[in-house]
Amino acid sequence: MTSGFSDLSVSVSDEVRSTTCYMCACRCGIHVHLRSGRVSYIEGNRSHPVNKGVLCAKGASGIMQVFSPSRLRAPLKRVGPRGSGAFVEISWEEALSTAASWLRPLRESAPEKLAFFTGRDQSQSFTGWWAQQFGTPNYAAHGGFCSVNMAAGGIYTIGGSFWEFGQPDWDRTKLFVLFGVAEDHDSNPIKIGLGRLKARGARVIGINPIRSGYNAVADDWLGITPGTDGLLILSLIHCLFEAGRIDLDYLARWTNAPLLVNATEGAEKGLILRNAESQPFVIDRRTGQPAPWDGPGVEPDLGATYQGHRTVFQHMAERYLAAEHAPEAVAERCGIPAGRIRALAAELADVAFNQAIEIAQPWTDFRGNRHETMVGRPVSFHAMRGISAHSNGFQTARALHLLQIILGAVETPGGYRLKPPYPKPVEAHPSPHFTAVPGQPLSGPHLGYVRGPEQLALKADGSPARIDKAFSWEAPFSAHGLMHMAIANAHAGDPYRIDTLLLYMANMAWNSSMNTSQVMAMLTDRDASGAYVIPRIIYSDAYASEMVAYADLILPDTTYLERHDCISLLDRPISEPEAAGDSIRWPVIEPDRDVRGFQSVLLDLGVRLGLPGMTNPDGTAKFADYADYIVNHIRRPGVGPLIGWRGADGSKEGRGEANPDQLRRYIENGGFYQAHVPAEARFMKPWNMAYQDWAVKTSFYETPQPYLFSIWSEPMRRFQLAAEGHGAIQPPDHLRARLIRAMDPLPIWYPPFGDDEAAGWGYPVHALTQRPMDMYHSWGSQNAWLRQIRGRNFLYVPTALWEAHGFEDGDYARVTSPSGQITVPVAHMAALNPHTVWTWNAIGKRRGAWALDAGAHEAKEGFLLNHLISELLPARGDGHRWSNSDPVTGQAAWFDLRVRIEKAGPQDRSLPQFPDLPRVVPQGRERRR
């Protein structure tokens, strides 16, 4: 028998162009193969630091995103009622001049009346800069409804966080513990890492109510009850303290554990005790006397008491040794037997201390002490949305970092490693800027890290300065803003009315909002005069998402293969622990529609408005387009969006003048650049002078910024003090008790808001969503390949509930929460926490959207849990309705959801259903070949 294939060496394509994936947030390197000028095949780039050649299900399906029938084709102007989907195509000139005519008067009179929020935006250092030049305080990306608790919890504790800013030492860790995770944060690096751990037999422990995906391959699974991760972590800390299995040397040298806590009653109680020069100090074990915290040779005494003031360490011991944290006290609530908690604590201690590793790498710390080796604790952790999307998520994230710290496993070999430009202490970040002045830019960046009440974004009358109430008493550390509150607050006129809502890549009329039906009503609501309550909505998206119908003006974006982008060290880079990294996208194909990259459109709009920074004195454009901006924008002297190939001849790294040839150099290198960390600087970065000096040289900060990890958080204590009545800036009375509890300066656990009451109200079951590894938000449903893999979602029900309700295959359930009801198909799942139901995120679609057939499973049986989640909690005894958010950061508490379920028998569609969205693009058809 002869082969049917005459030639096995057929060339794959005419040309390969290397750029950066955008099928999720992970930013892998891809090779895009072109045949006759069309995309023919996409594969991972082997030399790329993020994915090292591999590619996930989404990435390889990117070709179908580029051919998607739901791509918008031209700018659109609304001609019917909002939400009706009645649009006419207009020219870009008309679109841009319309937008400029709406925005110009706002900038000249009240810049805050523009609210600009971006969703899955990977150009935040640019979009934020644009909003700053416009002068509105109302800018943020989507972190507030995503995972700001992880980011802020980490930065306030260790000066970095998981995912983009840190990762396990995959090469050396021997025990990896994964707390509930969204599988695109990040996608391929975690899979690559897990594969490496498996290949060398390292142990993996998964702590997640749902045993799927990464948890399915974990050696041990702890099917924790949602919202109790912090309780479990503090119990592990209890066990380690009880046994004295903590890294005392690490705590004494690198954390604020030996600093003294002011015990004097009054306005400074609980702050770190300072000397006459306003410097924190320690008690030196050698002398028993006060000594500078950073003095050469000083040996800080963890157990010191000085004039009645005790060390942070003593406060820790007192709290975590308390019986309330014993495994036996928390086992039932966590849903994990006490013996398993004790066994996990023992395993952590065994690996950290009995299996310690040592690297023969001399280094010098910031005190000037020379060390001959680096000692490692080969235990590492990763966590993301699972633990952070709760109203106790910030404290839980802090607790997890505390657990890493007491094991000595942060920035040591085998543990958790920060990625440049992190480590970076809170003090090295800006604080929020929010004062709108007509006709003027904002005085600095919108988002930042608050150190005390005086940095809150409040107006003179104490009301929030921002439409989302970020950096207010309701969410003091809301470092990513509160996008999920923007529409509700704008509709309520609370704290004030806005004029124009500008949204980018955020499906707020569907899966990106809580309380979806209500949001649709808010977007279409009219006042007594018949005018829309939110007067104008401009939206930019590449696809016919559900949000498109609710905008007045649509600015159609390109797909990711048709655009320039910049993955920058100024916001969310692609660094590795041993290399700072950034990357670009570039148009590997040209659009075949009348669409433009949103960033170039913003620049054009900015010039029409005469915004500083992008407009020349004669009114002409300073940058031709976004690509020109990427190369030539100077943020600080010598520092621009990209660190690679700077300087006139491309020889400079990090700092240097703009290089007109920079993008070509990136393209030649596969779209990315890496600045490698010197060998001596690879670990112990916050305290390692070789790293500090390299970080200054490479432009992350202007002077070395060594710091101690903040086990005791002074910024948090300052808010407690205010809530206790100290200081001139005072919170509203109804928030005092909540602030005192939530702003505890030592990590604590409290039940998610409403959790204690939920069962009594008749909502005994926890309800979660997970994002599948093969879908990203709502994008996947337009993808012909991905929707065949996961075009349906079910409510997965654990065995006990399945049997108790007498469910059978094909049944539906009525699912009721305090704020809504849905009727949805169910399926049985055994490997699931017994008090928890869940479904896949964002599979459900509205009929008419995404170029799908009206009978598509996504629109017929598919569903969202969003209908059950309100942005406000039920009224409390005092009549106030708290935001359904973390009280520290304002992170949307998606996973606090509590429901009851009832059998509804077989149905032919899920509820609620909404009227068909009129199509702005035709329904998709089979692709011609």
Partner 1 sequence: MTTLPKSTARQLGLVIDLDTCVGCQACVTACKGWNDQGPAVAGLSDRDPYGAEPDGAFLNRVHSYQVAPDGGGAASLAQTVTFPRSCLHCQDAPCVTVCPTGASYKRAEDGIVLVNEAACIGCGLCAWACPYGAREMDPSAQVMKKCTLCIDRIYNETLPEVDREPACVRTCPTGARHFGDFADPESEVSRLTRDRGGYDLMPALGTRPTNKYLPPRPKDRPVEVSPLSPLLEIRAGDPAEGLAGWLDRILRKI
Residues between 256 and 295 that touch partner 1 (CB under 8 A): 285
Question: Which of 80, 88, 94, 198 forms a contact with partner 1 (CB under 8 A)?
Answer: 198
Phi then psi dihedrals of residue 313, to 5 deg:
-60, -40
The verdict on whether omega for the bond into residue 617 sits within 30 degrees of 0, i.e. cis, is no
Q: Which stretch binds partner 1 (CB under 8 A): 2-10, 403-411, 719-727, 750-758?
A: 2-10
The yes or no reply on residue 682 touching partner 1 (CB under 8 A) is no
Nearest CB to partner 1, comparing residues 342 and 633: 342
- Torsion (CA) 134, 137, 141, 147 in degrees, nearest 10: 160
Minimal distance, residue 70 CB to partner 1, in Å: 8
**Bridge partners of residue 310, in order along the sequence:** 261, 305
Residue (of 539, 537, 571) closest to 445 by Cα position? 571
Q: How many CB atoms lie within 10 A of CB 879?
A: 7
Asked whether 521 and 39 are in contact (CB, 8 A), the reply is no
Minimal distance, residue 927 CB to partner 1, in Å: 7
Residues 6+ apart with CB under 8 A from 492: none
Nearest CB to partner 1, comparing residues 716 and 852: 852
User: How far, CA to CA in Å, does 644 sit from each of 424, 563, 671, 818, 927?
Assistant: 21, 20, 11, 52, 40
Minimal distance, residue 788 CB to partner 1, in Å: 5
Question: Which of 187, 545, 710, 819 forms a contact with partner 1 (CB under 8 A)?
Answer: 187
The verdict on whether omega for the bond into residue 294 sits within 30 degrees of 0, i.e. cis, is no
Strands 795-797 and 820-828: parallel
Using CB under 8 A, which residues numbered 849 to 868 contact partner 1? Answer: 851-853, 855-857, 860
The yes or no reply on residue 50 touching partner 1 (CB under 8 A) is no
Would you give the DSSP letter of residue 788?
H
Q: Which stretch binds partner 1 (CB under 8 A): 205-213, 591-599, 669-677, 696-704?
A: 205-213
Minimal distance, residue 831 CB to partner 1, in Å: 4
Using CB under 8 A, which residues numbered 313 to 372 contact partner 1? Answer: 314, 317-318, 321-323, 326, 337, 339-340, 342-347, 349-350
Would you give the DSSP letter of residue 432?
P
Question: Which of 21, 60, 864, 920 forms a contact with partner 1 (CB under 8 A)?
Answer: 60
Question: Which of 24, 55, 146, 273 forms a contact with partner 1 (CB under 8 A)?
Answer: 55
Question: Which of 191, 446, 466, 484 forms a contact with partner 1 (CB under 8 A)?
Answer: 191
Nearest CB to partner 1, comparing residues 168 and 791: 791
Which of left, alpha, beta for 619 (phi over 0: left; psi -120 to 50: alpha)? left
Using CB under 8 A, which residues numbered 290 to 319 contact partner 1? Answer: 301-303, 314, 317-318
Q: H-helix or E-strand containing 903?
A: strand 898-906
Question: Which of 199, 276, 528, 728 forms a contact with partner 1 (CB under 8 A)?
Answer: 199
Asked whether 501 and 486 are in contact (CB, 8 A), the reply is yes
Q: Which stretch binds partner 1 (CB under 8 A): 122-130, 196-204, 527-535, 733-741?
A: 196-204
Using CB under 8 A, which residues numbered 778 to 817 contact partner 1? Answer: 782, 784-789, 791, 799
Using CB under 8 A, which residues numbered 828 to 847 contact partner 1? Answer: 828-832
The yes or no reply on residue 245 touching partner 1 (CB under 8 A) is yes
Minimal distance, residue 451 CB to partner 1, in Å: 31
Q: Is the dihedral of CA 234, 240, 243, 244 positive or negative?
A: negative
Q: Which stretch binds partner 1 (CB under 8 A): 33-41, 161-169, 653-661, 724-732?
A: 33-41
Q: How many CB atoms lie within 10 A of CB 785?
A: 16
Nearest CB to partner 1, comparing residues 15 and 853: 853
Minimal distance, residue 245 CB to partner 1, in Å: 6
The yes or no reply on residue 826 touching partner 1 (CB under 8 A) is no
Asked whether 838 and 209 are in contact (CB, 8 A), the reply is yes
Question: Which of 19, 61, 147, 599 forms a contact with partner 1 (CB under 8 A)?
Answer: 61
**Bridge partners of residue 104, in order along the sequence:** none
The yes or no reply on residue 19 touching partner 1 (CB under 8 A) is no
Asked whether 184 and 774 are in contact (CB, 8 A), the reply is no
Minimal distance, residue 20 CB to partner 1, in Å: 17
Minimal distance, residue 195 CB to partner 1, in Å: 4
Q: How many residues bind partner 1 (CB under 8 A)?
A: 114
The yes or no reply on residue 86 touching partner 1 (CB under 8 A) is no
Nearest CB to partner 1, comparing residues 260 and 302: 302
Task: Report how far residue 90's alpha carbon sits from residue 98's, in angstroms, rounded to the nearest whole number.
Answer: 11
Question: Which of 71, 113, 211, 718 forms a contact with partner 1 (CB under 8 A)?
Answer: 211
∠ CA 288-291-292, rounded to 5°: 160
Residues 6+ apart with CB under 8 A from 181: 190, 208, 214, 382, 383, 384, 385, 386
Question: Which of 89, 220, 594, 724 forms a contact with partner 1 (CB under 8 A)?
Answer: 220
Asked whether 410 and 380 are in contact (CB, 8 A), the reply is no
Tokens of 306: 């000085």
Strands 203-207 and 220-222: parallel
Nearest CB to partner 1, comparing residues 370 and 927: 927
Question: Which of 36, 93, 200, 244 forms a contact with partner 1 (CB under 8 A)?
Answer: 244
The yes or no reply on residue 53 touching partner 1 (CB under 8 A) is yes
Asked whether 796 and 827 are in contact (CB, 8 A), the reply is yes
Using CB under 8 A, which residues numbered 756 to 775 contact partner 1? Answer: 773-774
Minimal distance, residue 407 CB to partner 1, in Å: 13
Minimal distance, residue 189 CB to partner 1, in Å: 9
Task: Report how far residue 635's alpha carbon sits from residue 583's, in angstroms, rounded to the nearest whole number.
Answer: 17
Nearest CB to partner 1, comparing residues 88 and 854: 854
Nearest CB to partner 1, comparing residues 785 and 914: 785
Q: Which stretch binds partner 1 (CB under 8 A): 182-190, 267-275, 573-581, 760-768?
A: 182-190
Nearest CB to partner 1, comparing residues 44 and 686: 44
Nearest CB to partner 1, comparing residues 30 and 426: 30
Using CB under 8 A, which residues numbered 879 to 918 contact partner 1? Answer: none
Question: Which of 34, 86, 192, 735 forms a contact with partner 1 (CB under 8 A)?
Answer: 192
Minimal distance, residue 18 CB to partner 1, in Å: 14
- Torsion (CA) 376, 377, 382, 386 in degrees, nearest 10: -150
Would you give the DSSP letter of residue 827?
E
DSSP letters, 78-137, are: E-SSTTS--EEE--HHHHHHHHHHHHHHHHHH-GGGEEEEESS-S-HHHHHHHHHHHT-S
Burial class of residue 117, CB neighbours in 10 A (0-12, 13-18, 19+)? buried
